[in-house]
């Protein structure tokens, strides 16, 4: 179909309110097979390349290459299993595949039978920016409680459960969400007692005691001990059922500032170690590269695993396999696959996004397959997104990095470039400008002689 698109204002005619017939409509239109199959082909392709699809769905659908990071998840799971109380940190940039690795580790732990792995995406449940000490263990406590009984109702209605874990559940709940209590406030605390009567003037006041999942909170070391006992009771109950708890804290990498990350995680992880609960947690790249603070944090963990950007390599074999797993050949030829692999820079989410966006571009441009022009267009779009907001000094620094391959990763503004994915880390000594960004950076005019 020729790409002649000068739409009239469709919305002048077609409003949502007057359209009722499409629900349950039979698709018996006698359009040429090519048209419908084209749309279906693109739809299937787009769904396979959805960069925002939950990792758990992708694993279930078999769209994930499990040994992409040398089966890292097996190592994580193995240590969590063999060494109760071990603490492992998975550090990686945005879109590097951390959640996928953690979920694969969780599946591996589950398959052991005697482990109860609990995945907690902290940022999903509560406002991570307001979290403080005690929030992680509170989340874990509620998650274990949910394993035994669904909600407050279960702990009040199930007599067996109530007898076994009712009391620790109540403590956990209050620790997490706080409570409202009625307190007696005398009219005048300083007034002398004139008689021995029991009557005292005053009134009741409602006082709210905040929970750990309602920020902001004061941070006191002793407070975290309040949850120790009920948590221990739940862990003991799990053991009685033949299960060792291992916890996976996902989403902590959103706390880009390592100091903030540590203020949330420090005491909670210490308590978990004491309780012999194995923990896996994600962390931002700044933990790895920020000078002193980063190093001291890393030193607290049994293992810090860096999930680096995938090096494309001359034949792009590794990255290509990610696309092939999702049946890219339906719309992409080998040359375009290689182009997408190269310009993704090895960032998995950018790889998937570019493949999806190229498909979308081809579809709206009325192409039957993805062309080189479609790919070029979306690479430029991605590069422009990274370029927006960069001033001349940063652009010059990026060009300098491209030329010299030299990058001082300890400088705060360079860490920012890593966190925003404008610079990619292929190893602790190999840093490069994101290729999509590099392709759109305006070059200085060559000086005339």
Site for another protein in 44-63 (CB under 8 A): 46-47, 50-54
**Residue number, 48 or 76, with CB nearest to another protein:** 48
Work out which of 143, 162, 327, 349 binds another protein, going by CB under 8 A. 349
Q: What backbone phi and psi angles, to 5 degrees, belong to 433?
A: -70, 140
Asked if residue 199 binds another protein (CB under 8 A), the reply is no
* DSSP β-ladder status, 303-307 and 278-283: unpaired
**Residue number, 231 or 436, with CB nearest to another protein:** 436
Asked if residue 4 binds another protein (CB under 8 A), the reply is yes
Work out which of 69, 79, 421, 434 binds another protein, going by CB under 8 A. 421
425 beta partners? 431
Residues of this chain, 161-180, that bind another protein according to CB under 8 A? none
In the bound complex, what is the minimum distance in angstroms from residue 58's beta carbon to another protein?
Answer: 13
14 beta partners? none
**Residue number, 13 or 194, with CB nearest to another protein:** 13
Asked if residue 113 binds another protein (CB under 8 A), the reply is no
Q: What angle do CA 121, 129, 437 make, to 5 degrees?
A: 80
In the bound complex, what is the minimum distance in angstroms from residue 96's beta carbon to another protein?
Answer: 10
Assess contact for 356 and 326: CB atoms under 8 A.
Answer: no
Work out which of 140, 245, 331, 419 binds another protein, going by CB under 8 A. 419
Asked if residue 350 binds another protein (CB under 8 A), the reply is yes
In the bound complex, what is the minimum distance in angstroms from residue 367's beta carbon to another protein?
Answer: 13
| Structure token pair of residue 254 | 């959103």
In the bound complex, what is the minimum distance in angstroms from residue 250's beta carbon to another protein?
Answer: 8
Work out which of 243, 254, 270, 327 binds another protein, going by CB under 8 A. 254
Number of residues that bind another protein (CB under 8 A): 78
| Structure token pair of residue 408 | 């001082």
Assess contact for 86 and 244: CB atoms under 8 A.
Answer: no
**Residue number, 16 or 199, with CB nearest to another protein:** 16
Note the helical H segments in 226-313: 228-240, 258-274, 286-289, 292-298
Work out which of 98, 105, 117, 128 binds another protein, going by CB under 8 A. 128
Asked if residue 132 binds another protein (CB under 8 A), the reply is no
| Structure token pair of residue 76 | 């994580």
Work out which of 57, 110, 127, 368 binds another protein, going by CB under 8 A. 127
Assess contact for 374 and 365: CB atoms under 8 A.
Answer: yes
Give CA separation, 374 vs 362, 370, 379, 398, 434, in Å. 6, 6, 9, 27, 20
Q: Which helix (H) or strand (E) holds 247?
A: strand 244-250
Residues of this chain, 6-35, that bind another protein according to CB under 8 A? 6-16, 18-19, 21-22, 25-32, 35
Residues of this chain, 206-245, that bind another protein according to CB under 8 A? none
In the bound complex, what is the minimum distance in angstroms from residue 326's beta carbon to another protein?
Answer: 14
Residue that has been written with the tokens 């299937």 in this structure: 44
Ramachandran sector of residue 97 (left: φ over 0; alpha: ψ -120 to 50; beta: rest):
left
Site string for another protein, 353-392 (x = CB under 8 A): xx-xx--x--xx------------xxx-xxxxxxxxx---
**Residue number, 52 or 187, with CB nearest to another protein:** 52
Handedness of CA 209, 212, 215, 218 (dihedral sign): positive
**Residue number, 291 or 364, with CB nearest to another protein:** 364
Q: What angle do CA 318, 321, 322 make, to 5 degrees?
A: 95
């Amino acid at each position: 179909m020729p790409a002649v698109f000068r739409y009239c204002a469709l919305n002048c005619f077609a409003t949502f309110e007057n359209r009722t017939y499409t629900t349950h409509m039979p698709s018996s239109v006698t359009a040429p097979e090519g048209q419908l199959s084209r749309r279906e082909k693109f739809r299937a392709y787009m769904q396979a390349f959805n960069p925002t699809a939950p990792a758990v769905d992708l694993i279930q659908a078999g769209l994930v290459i499990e040994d992409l990071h040398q089966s890292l998840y097996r190592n994580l799971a193995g240590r969590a299993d063999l060494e109760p109380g071990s603490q492992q940190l998975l550090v990686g940039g945005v879109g590097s595949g951390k959640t996928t690795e953690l979920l694969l580790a969780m599946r591996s732990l589950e398959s052991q039978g005697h482990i109860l792995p609990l995945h907690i995406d902290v940022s999903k449940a509560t406002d991570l920016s307001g979290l403080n000490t005690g929030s992680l263990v509170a989340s874990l406590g509620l998650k274990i409680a949910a394993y035994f009984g669904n909600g407050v109702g279960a702990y009040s209605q199930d007599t067996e459960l109530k007898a076994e874990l009712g009391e620790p559940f109540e403590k956990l709940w209050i620790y997490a969400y706080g409570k409202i209590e009625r307190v007696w406030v005398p009219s005048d605390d300083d007034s002398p007692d004139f008689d021995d009567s029991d009557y005292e003037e005053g009134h009741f006041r409602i006082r709210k005691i905040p929970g750990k999942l309602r920020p902001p909170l004061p941070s006191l070391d002793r407070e975290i001990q309040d949850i120790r006992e009920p948590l221990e009771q739940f862990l003991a109950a799990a053991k009685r059922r033949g299960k060792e708890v291992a916890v996976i804290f996902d989403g902590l990498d959103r706390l880009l500032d390592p100091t903030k990350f540590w203020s949330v995680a420090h005491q909670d992880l210490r308590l978990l170690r004491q309780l012999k609960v194995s923990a896996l947690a994600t962390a931002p790249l700044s933990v790895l590269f920020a000078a002193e603070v980063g190093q001291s944090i890393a030193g607290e963990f049994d293992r810090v695993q860096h999930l680096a950007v995938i090096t494309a390599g001359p034949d792009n074999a590794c990255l290509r396999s990610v696309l092939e797993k999702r049946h890219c050949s339906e719309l992409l030829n080998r040359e375009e696959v290689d182009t997408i692999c190269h310009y993704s820079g090895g960032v998995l989410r950018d790889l998937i996004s570019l493949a999806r966006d190229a498909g979308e571009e081809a579809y709206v441009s009325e192409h039957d397959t993805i062309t080189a022009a479609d790919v070029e267009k979306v690479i430029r779009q991605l590069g422009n997104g990274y370029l927006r907001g960069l001033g001349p000094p940063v652009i010059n620094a990026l060009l300098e990095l491209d030329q010299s391959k030299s990058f001082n990763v300890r400088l705060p503004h360079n860490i920012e470039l890593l966190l925003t994915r404008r610079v990619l880390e292929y190893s602790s000594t190999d840093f490069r400008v994101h290729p999509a960004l590099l392709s759109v950076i305006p070059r200085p005019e060559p000086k005339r002689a």
